[in-house]
Amino acid sequence: MLLQVKHLFKHFPHEGGSPIRAVAGVSLELNEEEVLGIVGESGSGKSTLARCLLMLIPPSSGRILYRGSDVTRLNRRDLLAYRRKVQIVFQDPYNSLNPLMTVGGTLSRPIKIHKLASSKKERMIKITDLLISVGLDPDMIGRFPHEFSGGQRQRIAIARALAVEPEAVILDEPTSALDMSVQAQILNLLKKLNRERKLSYFFISHNIHVINFLSDRVGVMYCGKLLEIGPKEQVRDRPGHPYTQSLFKAVPAIDAPKRREKDLAHGEIPDPANPPMGCYFHPRCLETMEKCFRITPHLKEISTGHFVACHRASCPP
């Protein structure tokens, strides 16, 4: 197991008094060479969870284990070493690159910081290889971010993440700011790099069909909680939570399994500073029972490796 999250919480202060519960007790694992997709609407806590994983923001409580070591207790030097092994690619390629640095400068910096090249010549060879690996011409090395398209900028951001030879990459909605045709190109590139470099991905998106294309396992977040997680085939073909069913129904896809016609998720995501009692999803669910209003459901295994937090989810015989 590469990365493990145990009972992670992240609360932010709120003027109204009650804290915003951005992440509310999430537990999950990321295995070596695995793509774990995390899907949910805006405000579900996906990006906050990603930033906690890299300690860009400290969690309020819980543990993050990297190869058994607790990341939340690392000193500055060890945290730098951890961030070499676990990198991140952000959503917006227009804001994630320094506009005053050339492509060469952007890719040189992490190589210098982590002392991964013994000479300028070796560093330039690494940069050239990185540009080729993400589908860019090495002659672009002296150009600035404003000279590139959005898709090209995201390729540069991916190359920057790969520059330090990580084991895992956190991908925080890396295609959502791009045109549809460019999204497909970037997804295919990520799939190729995952295979060639034996990388693990923690892939975040609001589009469950994008998640389904790239992932080995899929986790579904809602209002800071993990409602469902399992192998993508099981989550796709036999979603156990009404919210997961609604996500498939909300984004049309030619190859998506047919869902029931009724609207399973009317309304909006609750205020994370004042979540409802019982199941957080019950105000939007059309399949509620009496205990949904009182008792918070916890993840339970409904088939091998497939866990669902729903009172209606049936256990295997």
User: Which DSSP state fits 274?
Assistant: S
Q: Which of 199, 166, 158 is nearest to 82 (CA)?
A: 166
Q: What percent of the chain has pLDDT over 90?
A: 79
The pLDDT assigned to 18 comes to 86
The pLDDT assigned to 265 comes to 63
| pLDDT confidence bin for 96, thresholds 50/70/90 | confident
The pLDDT assigned to 314 comes to 61
Region of poorest pLDDT, from 40-44, 150-154, 217-221: 40-44
Domains and CATH numbers, the chain: 3-308 (3.40.50.300)
Tens digit of pLDDT for each residue in 212-241? 899 999 999 999 999 999 999 999 999 999
Tens digit of pLDDT for each residue in 274-313? 899 999 999 999 889 999 999 999 999 999 999 999 998 8
Q: Which of 79, 67, 64, 65 is nearest to 8 (CA)?
A: 64
pTM: 0.92
Q: Which residue has the higher pLDDT, 29 or 42?
A: 29
Q: What percent of the chain has pLDDT over 70?
A: 94
What b-and-e string marks burial along 213-238, b requiring 16 or more CB atoms within 10 Å of the CB? bbbbbbbbbbbbbbbbbbbbebbbee
Where do the H-state alpha helices sit in 57-149?
A: 76-85, 103-113, 120-133
Residue 258 pLDDT exceeds 70: no
Rounded to an integer, the average pLDDT of 130-134 is: 97
**Exposed (0-12), middle (13-18) or buried (19+): which is 312, by Cβ within 10 Å?**
middle
The pLDDT assigned to 260 comes to 44
The pLDDT assigned to 95 comes to 87
CA distances from 217 to 8, 24, 184, 200 (A): 20, 21, 20, 12
Residue 180 pLDDT exceeds 90: no
Residue 26 pLDDT exceeds 50: yes
The pLDDT assigned to 251 comes to 63
Given a contact cutoff of 8 angstroms between Cβ atoms, the answer to whether 310 and 242 are in contact is yes
Mean pLDDT over the full length of the chain = 91
User: Which DSSP state fits 240?
Assistant: -
The pLDDT assigned to 14 comes to 83
The one-letter code for the residue type at 251 is V
Q: Which residue has the higher pLDDT, 129 or 208?
A: 129
The pLDDT assigned to 256 comes to 46
CA distances from 167 to 30, 110, 122 (A): 11, 15, 21
Q: Which of 98, 29, 103 is nearest to 66 (CA)?
A: 29
What is the distance between the alpha carbons of residues 285 and 78, in angstroms, rounded to a whole number?
A: 45
Question: Crossing angle of helices 150-162/120-133, nearest 10°?
Answer: 130
CA 7 remoteness from chain centre = 17
In this structure, the chain runs to a length of: 317
What is the distance between the alpha carbons of residues 230 and 208, in angstroms, rounded to a whole number?
A: 13
Residue 259 pLDDT exceeds 80: no
Secondary structure class of 32 (helix, strand, coil): coil
* Residues paired with 221 in a beta bridge: 226
Rounded to an integer, the average pLDDT of 195-199 is: 96
What is the distance between the alpha carbons of residues 191 and 185, in angstroms, rounded to a whole number?
A: 10
Paired tokens of 25:
């007790």
What is the distance between the alpha carbons of residues 233 and 303, in angstroms, rounded to a whole number?
A: 12
Name the one residue in this structure whose structure tokens are 């019982």.
278
